[in-house]
Amino acid sequence: MNKFLKNMTSGANLPRFIISSFFLLVCVMAVIVKIPFTTLMSDTLVRFAMNGVLVLAMVPSIQSGLGPNFALPIGIIAGLVGSVVSFEFGIAGFGGLWLAIAISIPLALIFGYLYGQMLNKVKGSELIVSTYTGFSIVSLMSIGWILMPLKHPEMTWPLGKGLRNIILLDNSFGKMLNDFFSWKYVRVAETGNLITFFNRTDKYISDLYPNNAAVVEFTIPTGLLIFFFLFCFVVFLFNRSKLGMEMRAAGDNPKFALASGINVDKMRVLGATLSTVIASIGIVVFSQSYGYLQLYQAPLFMAFPAIAAILIGGASTQKAKIFHVIIGTFLFQGLLTMSLPVANKLIVEGNLSEVLRMIIQNGVILYALTKVGGQE
Amino acid sequence: MKNDYVLEMNGITKDYSGNVVLNNINLKVKPGEIHALLGENGAGKSTLMNILFGMPVIHSTGGFNGEVKLNGEVVNIISPKEAMGHGIGMVHQEFMLIPGFTITENIKLNREITRRNIVSSVFRSKALEFLDSEAMSKDSRKALDTLNIGIDENAYVSSLPVGYMQLVEIAREIDKRNIKLLVFDEPTAVLTESEAENLIGAMKVIAGHGIAILFITHRLDEVMMAADTVTVLRDGNLVVSKPKTETNVMEIAALMVGRELSITKTVKTEEKEADVVMSLRNLQVNMPGEAVKGVDLDIKRGEIIGIGGLAGQGKIGIANGIMGMFETDGEITINNEKLVLNNTIESYNKKLAFVSEDRKGVGLLLDSSIEDNIAITAIRVNGDFLKKFGPFSFRDDSKIRNHAESMVKELDIRCTGTKQETRRLSGGNQQKVCLARALTIEPEILLVSEPTRGVDIGAKQLILDKLRFLNKELGMTIIMTSSELAELRSICDRIVIVCEGKVEGVLKPDASDVDFGLMMSGDYKKVKVGGIA
């Protein structure tokens, strides 16, 4: 028991231990201050699945020895470009979603390859270089979004040039995965009855019960969950492949890899490329669930919550497993979802949840970075 | 009372957790004497010096037994700073100089001569005083003149040739007013021959000023040139300590190496008439600290060939070069086919396998399981242990497991199971995992470097027996690099001694200690040809 406790609180597991305790505390508080627990859990589930793929993008990066991918915005930009181009074609539904992903992947392949090549030139300073690469590409694309020759009226500013800050996806591929085979438990206000809807959109329900006559109490976003776990499985399979094993060996011990005839530089490029590709798909999944595309400065800090999530899950800057992604994303997103309403009940004014998010997110990253190269 | 000896070390004994590294060593150094301290790697020279300088490594491991006397007084030195206070100086093998500073600044670093000024008077702080450059230059000039160096004391160290840097270090030491004893730790290792001669000249000058010198080296000809007294250590024991005039190169060489060998090897009487399986021509390997500078060697099929020599001479570099681990030049032919250099996978394709000398750094994935460690190279090189699904190939867990289990049994790897992380294994078992990994790719030629370093005796025996078995029963050619001569002599058919990046000579395992000693110190050719003894 003592050993178990020690193991739980040591090294990379310490943040997970603290956040888990905190998460439980917030859950208890939510019950005490009488916030409807089902809605909170429902939101947690959705946010877990929509962020999951972005967090998964950290895995190949860490495994190939590049550390957490602070340049996640590169992949995000590729995904966003894919999305706006797909939007321009005006294909609604899954067609739009698949098209967005299909355009994103080749872009991400190119970006990721170049990014990996660059990282091979700055060995030892990957973390700081990738952070600023991420920042730079976001700024560069801020110009790009204005200059993009896209014409769709729902996407461009009504006056002047360029794309909008926020693009509504309702008429495109918004919520496609979330609603696919979803279960929605709806409370009808008048009667108090609980009705179950299968594979229906929110719009369908609100049309059925206009003027908020019914609220969705609990959603199981089946399609979103399937997509996320499918991706986890693909990464798992990759880890078991010849290439995956070689990449992990290269990340684990470059000298060992060299002595086994593995081209370490190539494996690092592979890790960077895979990470970027997964990130580009991740942002498409994120956006469809969110219902909007966020351009310009929005991707700037998107790497940080993803990094924090995988670290909370128990990964370090050198080791990461898919299990870390699942547990970490759930804890991190769960805590954020839960703490906002709880904090608002306790302290009415202020923006406590956002402050809390910053403290946890940056605190965990800082903690992980202090462990780099330590612990022999 | 005036004492005869500037330094006396009496009955020094030191063990690291039961492992005795120094056993009852006595060392006496007179003022103005050049005292050479000789021994192989691991003979205990460094430990003795660490004791003299009060290095923390000594005191954190339980101190030592015996007494150290300076000028007849027993002293208890517990830090290098204190040693300096007692007038003991050290000239390092690697230069401890700041390149961007002038010679004077380097000599006077942290011992600056200063003048008071208003600010320092107000704050009463010595740290705020002005530097007295003139006085400092004068002092440096004096120190440089003592060594007969004609260079400008205000030149930048970065602009000096290597040989002079060493002399600046010495100048810094003799500039210390109370210096009584100077330790030179292999000072000539990085110098050219003429620079080394300069240095020896300088040492004689210093000794002429009454400063005692402890000269640690393994170049016997320099010892004969410079030293007054010679002390030889071997395996932590004092072998001999006598005036140079009473000994000669041959004797010292034999004393350095000679140990009661229980040669377990039944020396093969019949000369093997085997063909050459691998030949090296002008092999150069740019491995830091173990550079190979042009090795020519033919390796016969089915032999165990040993590569020996002192640390830093390049023996380690040969195997690393063949495997393409470091930048390599020259020509390697395997089975009459040229090997593509600097390409590890090519070396594997030529049926080579490699057990690295750096077990933890290169040999293992410390956080991975035993079975993964054993399998990964074979997966990479031969595509073993894989299941195919269309264009994809995935690892075959059961095959990997079965193979690892049979290896664990075969090599007697002590573990809780094949899933155990290699980090948790003892040194000997880690080494067995490395060996298992190399054998898994079924090589024709096996390169093993330092297979028994940091390995307990039981595992050592097993590893050596296994190598012998592989050679005898499977006809595997084995190239074994080791710092332990006795070990090489016990299993090899021929032993190549490498010195200064080149082959000094090839010996039979039953050759005399003198020959081995002379070759290791690089004096074999000189003695046999020139006859400096």
In chain B, residues with a C-beta closer than 8 Å to the C-beta of A246 are 376, 379-380
The full DSSP string for A14-60 is HHHHHHHHHHHHHHHHHHHTT--HHHHHHHHHHHHHHHHHHHHTHHH
B346 to chain A: nearest residue by CA? A261
Mean pLDDT, range B333-345, rounded to an integer: 89
What's at A20, amino acid-wise? S
In which band, very low, low, confident or very high, does the pLDDT at B271 lie, cut at 50, 70 and 90? Answer: low
**Is the model's pLDDT at B261 over the cut of 50?**
no
SS3 annotation, B302-316: CCEEEEECCCCCCHH
Determine the residue among B287, B344, B352 to mutate to test chain A binding: the one whose Cβ has the most chain A Cβ atoms within 10 Å. B344
Shortest Cα–Cα distance, A280 to chain B (Å): 24
Q: Which residues lie closer than 8 Å to A39 by C-beta, 6 or more apart?
A: A217, A218
Shortest Cα–Cα distance, A320 to chain B (Å): 12
In chain B, residues with a C-beta closer than 8 Å to the C-beta of A259 are 323, 325, 344, 354, 356, 362-363
**Is the model's pLDDT at B1 over the cut of 60?**
no
**Is the model's pLDDT at B518 over the cut of 70?**
yes
In which band, very low, low, confident or very high, does the pLDDT at A274 lie, cut at 50, 70 and 90? Answer: very high
CB contact under 8 A, B356 and A259: yes
CB contact under 8 A, A242 and B354: no
CB contact under 8 A, B380 and A256: no
Could you report the per-residue pLDDT of B297-330, keeping only the tens digit for each? 999 888 999 998 887 888 889 999 999 888 999 9
ipTM: 0.81
Among A4-18, A304-318, B406-420, the range scoring the smallest mean pLDDT is A4-18
CB contact under 8 A, B380 and A261: yes
CB contact under 8 A, A261 and B381: yes
A236 to chain B: nearest residue by CA? B394
A251 to chain B: nearest residue by CA? B365
In chain A, residues with a C-beta closer than 8 Å to the C-beta of B372 are 245
CB contact under 8 A, B379 and A259: no
In chain B, residues with a C-beta closer than 8 Å to the C-beta of A373 are none
In which band, very low, low, confident or very high, does the pLDDT at A191 lie, cut at 50, 70 and 90? Answer: confident
Place of tokens 């590729």: A78
Res B82: pLDDT: 85
**Is the model's pLDDT at A374 over the cut of 60?**
no
Mean pLDDT, range B159-165, rounded to an integer: 78
Residues 392-431 of B with CB under 8 A from A: 392-395
With 0-12 / 13-18 / 19 or more C-beta atoms within 10 angstroms meaning exposed / middle / buried, residue A80 is: buried
Mean pLDDT, range B103-109, rounded to an integer: 88
Shortest Cα–Cα distance, A233 to chain B (Å): 13
Res B190: pLDDT: 67
CB contact under 8 A, B394 and A241: yes
Share of chain A above pLDDT 90, in %: 41
Residue that wins the pLDDT comparison between A76 and B531: A76
Res B167: pLDDT: 82
Phi, psi of A88 (to 5 degrees): -60, -35
Res A373: pLDDT: 47
In whole angstroms, give the CA distance from residue A24 to residue A8. Answer: 16
User: Residue B421: helix, strand or coil by DSSP?
Assistant: strand
Mean pLDDT of chain A: 86
In chain B, residues with a C-beta closer than 8 Å to the C-beta of A256 are 362-365
Query: Smallest Cβ distance to A249: which of B356, B376, B383?
Result: B376
Residue that wins the pLDDT comparison between B195 and A375: B195
CA angle A190, A191, A196 (to 5 degrees): 110
In which band, very low, low, confident or very high, does the pLDDT at A1 lie, cut at 50, 70 and 90? Answer: low
In which band, very low, low, confident or very high, does the pLDDT at B240 lie, cut at 50, 70 and 90? Answer: confident
Shortest Cα–Cα distance, B351 to chain A (Å): 13
CB neighbourhood size of A17 (10 A): 16
Could you report the per-residue pLDDT of B386-414, keeping only the tens digit for each? 888 888 888 888 999 999 999 999 888 88
Phi, psi of B499 (to 5 degrees): -140, 130
Q: Which residues lie closer than 8 Å to A66 by C-beta, 6 or more apart?
A: A119, A126, A130, A251, A268, A271, A272, A275
- The answer to whether B26 and B9 are in contact (CB under 8 A) is yes
In chain A, residues with a C-beta closer than 8 Å to the C-beta of B356 are 259
Could you report the per-residue pLDDT of A166-182, keeping only the tens digit for each? 888 888 888 888 888 88
Closest CA to B160 of B89, B95, B91, B93: B95
A318 to chain B: nearest residue by CA? B367
Mean pLDDT, range A125-138, rounded to an integer: 90
B356 touches A: beta carbon within 8 Å? yes
In whole angstroms, give the CA distance from residue A356 to residue B334. Answer: 65
**Is the model's pLDDT at B33 over the cut of 50?**
yes
Place of tokens 């030491």: B173
B340 touches A: beta carbon within 8 Å? no
In angstroms, the Cα distances linking B518 to A140, A232, B524 are 67, 63, 5
CB contact under 8 A, B377 and A319: no
Closest CA to B520 of B31, B43, B27: B43
Mean pLDDT of chain B: 84
Residue that wins the pLDDT comparison between A360 and A323: A323
Res B3: pLDDT: 65
Res A280: pLDDT: 95
Structural element, H or E, at residue B237: strand B237-243
Could you report the per-residue pLDDT of B184-217, keeping only the tens digit for each? 887 776 677 777 788 888 888 888 888 899 988 8
Could you report the per-residue pLDDT of B341-386, keeping only the tens digit for each? 888 898 998 899 999 988 888 889 888 899 999 999 998 888 888 8
Per residue in A162-186, is it b (16+ CB within 10 Å) or e — as a string? bbbeebebeebbbbbbbbbebebbb
In chain A, residues with a C-beta closer than 8 Å to the C-beta of B342 are none
In chain B, residues with a C-beta closer than 8 Å to the C-beta of A252 are 365, 367-368
Res A226: pLDDT: 94
In whole angstroms, give the CA distance from residue A169 to residue B528. Answer: 89
Res A267: pLDDT: 94
A250 to chain B: nearest residue by CA? B365
Give chain A's contact residues with B (Cβ, < 8 Å). Answer: 237, 240-242, 245-246, 249, 252-253, 255-256, 258-262, 319
Determine the residue among A245, A263, A267 to mutate to test chain B binding: the one whose Cβ has the most chain B Cβ atoms within 10 Å. A245
Mean pLDDT, range B43-52, rounded to an integer: 84
Share of chain A above pLDDT 70, in %: 94
Mean pLDDT, range A327-352, rounded to an integer: 80
How does DSSP classify residue A315?
-
In chain B, residues with a C-beta closer than 8 Å to the C-beta of A258 are 325, 344, 362
Q: Chain A to chain B, count of Cβ pairs less than 8 Å apart?
A: 65
In whole angstroms, give the CA distance from residue B308 to residue B481. Answer: 6
B323 to chain A: nearest residue by CA? A259
For B294, half-sphere exposure in the C-beta direction (CA atoms, 13 angstrom radius) is 2
CB neighbourhood size of B454 (10 A): 14
**Is the model's pLDDT at A206 over the cut of 90?**
no
B386 touches A: beta carbon within 8 Å? yes
In whole angstroms, give the CA distance from residue A115 to residue B301. Answer: 48
CB contact under 8 A, A242 and B381: no
CB contact under 8 A, B394 and A262: no
CB contact under 8 A, A259 and B344: yes
Residue that wins the pLDDT comparison between A350 and A115: A115
CB contact under 8 A, B364 and A256: yes
Residue that wins the pLDDT comparison between A160 and A141: A141
Place of tokens 């004077």: B104
A376 to chain B: nearest residue by CA? B423
Res B262: pLDDT: 46
In which band, very low, low, confident or very high, does the pLDDT at B115 lie, cut at 50, 70 and 90? Answer: confident
Could you report the per-residue pLDDT of B58-83, keeping only the tens digit for each? 888 888 888 888 888 888 888 888 88
Share of chain B above pLDDT 70, in %: 94
In chain A, residues with a C-beta closer than 8 Å to the C-beta of B386 are 242
CB contact under 8 A, B362 and A319: no
Closest CA to B250 of B522, B517, B530, B529: B517
In angstroms, the Cα distances linking B468 to A119, B89, B174, B492 are 46, 48, 54, 9
Mean pLDDT, range B432-446, rounded to an integer: 91
**Is the model's pLDDT at A303 over the cut of 80?**
yes
B380 touches A: beta carbon within 8 Å? yes
Closest CA to B59 of B71, B74, B47, B72: B47
Query: Smallest Cβ distance to A319: which of B354, B367, B392?
Result: B367
CB contact under 8 A, B354 and A258: no
Through-space distance between the first and last CA atoms of chain B, rounded to whole angstroms: 40
The first and second tokens of residue A79, run together, are 């995904």
Could you report the per-residue pLDDT of A93-108, keeping only the tens digit for each? 888 999 999 999 999 9
Mean pLDDT, range A334-352, rounded to an integer: 76
In whole angstroms, give the CA distance from residue B482 to residue B473. Answer: 23
CB contact under 8 A, A256 and B367: no
User: Residue B106: helix, strand or coil by DSSP?
Assistant: helix
CB contact under 8 A, B367 and A260: no
User: Residue A292: helix, strand or coil by DSSP?
Assistant: strand
Query: Smallest Cβ distance to A240: which of B364, B366, B395?
Result: B395
Could you report the per-residue pLDDT of A75-96, keeping only the tens digit for each? 999 999 999 999 988 888 888 9
